[in-house]
Chains A and B, each alone.
Chain A
Amino acid sequence: DGGITQSPKYLFRKEGQNVTLSCEQNLNHDAMYWYRQDPGQGLRLIYYSQIVNDFQKGDIAEGYSVSREKKESFPLTVTSAQKNPTAFYLCASSIDPVTGELFFGEGSRLTVL
């Protein structure tokens, strides 16, 4: 069954801890993305990667880090430097980085206590 898998679905962490969100895809897409979704603010781009071993900052990259060691995987680390990390995080992939349809995962909801 092709698609994007995010884990965990829900995550609770204490303030000051780094957390890593997993994103795996078996669609053979080159491009992968991380978005943050907050109520009333749409989807804001955190990081994106158009090819293995390369990634670029999006609009709100501060306090986040990523890696792209394999085509299928694009994990996101929310570091302690992120001032307001509680949010819903969506991973996506596409064939074409601009005009290709984005295929989203089911999301990970992070709550920092």
Chain B
Amino acid sequence: GENVEQHPSTLSVQEGDSAVIKCTYSDSASNYFPWYKQELGKRPQLIIDIRSNVGEKKDQRIAVTLNKTAKHFSLHITETQPEDSAVYFCAAPGSARQLTFGSGTQLTVLP
């Protein structure tokens, strides 16, 4: 099945700086890569996704890049704000066509 590895597990940045979270996947047939954000005590919510026919997608301060050759994708958050503090999960579909999630990254934006 699919194996998704996510790094780092924790990340602290100063407000205004950029944050980057990286994920690698094992199934070369995977073609959809979402990112979910889970604020403390709340449910995970989709923040951005990318499909394998593009290399980058942006939505305001967040962007996702995909390198299919290397089988890795990354989440980039620019001009971080305190409300960006949360746990972020990447995911990729496996052979059973169900999403496999990474282990999560706790992002803390320091004022």
A, B bound = yes
Which A residues are closer than 8 A to B by beta carbons?
33, 35, 40-45, 48, 56, 58-59, 90, 97-99, 101-102, 104-107
A43 to B6, CA, bound (A): 12
Cross-chain pair count, CB within 8 angstroms: 52
The answer to whether B104 and A98 touch across the interface, beta carbons within 8 angstroms, is no
The answer to whether B6 and A42 touch across the interface, beta carbons within 8 angstroms, is yes
Q: Give the number of residues in B that approach A within 8 Å (Cβ atoms).
A: 25
User: Which residues in chain B, 2-40, are within 8 Å of chain A measured between CB atoms?
Assistant: 6, 9, 31-32, 34, 36
The answer to whether B51 and A99 touch across the interface, beta carbons within 8 angstroms, is yes
The listed residue (B31, B43, B97) touching A90 by CB distance below 8 A is B43
Closest to A56 in B: B96
The listed residue (A42, A97, A98) touching B102 by CB distance below 8 A is A42
The answer to whether B99 and A102 touch across the interface, beta carbons within 8 angstroms, is yes
Task: Give the residues in chain B near A98, CB-CB below 8 Å.
Answer: 32, 93, 97-99
CB-CB under 8 A for A97 and B101, given A42-B6, A43-B89: no
Task: Give the residues in chain A near B45, CB-CB below 8 Å.
Answer: 104
Can you pick out 22 interface pairs between chain A and chain B where the beta carbons lie within 8 Å of each other?
A: A33-B98, A35-B101, A40-B9, A41-B103, A42-B6, A42-B102, A42-B103, A42-B104, A43-B101, A56-B96, A59-B1, A90-B44, A98-B32, A98-B93, A98-B98, A98-B99, A99-B31, A101-B46, A101-B49, A102-B44, A102-B46, A104-B45
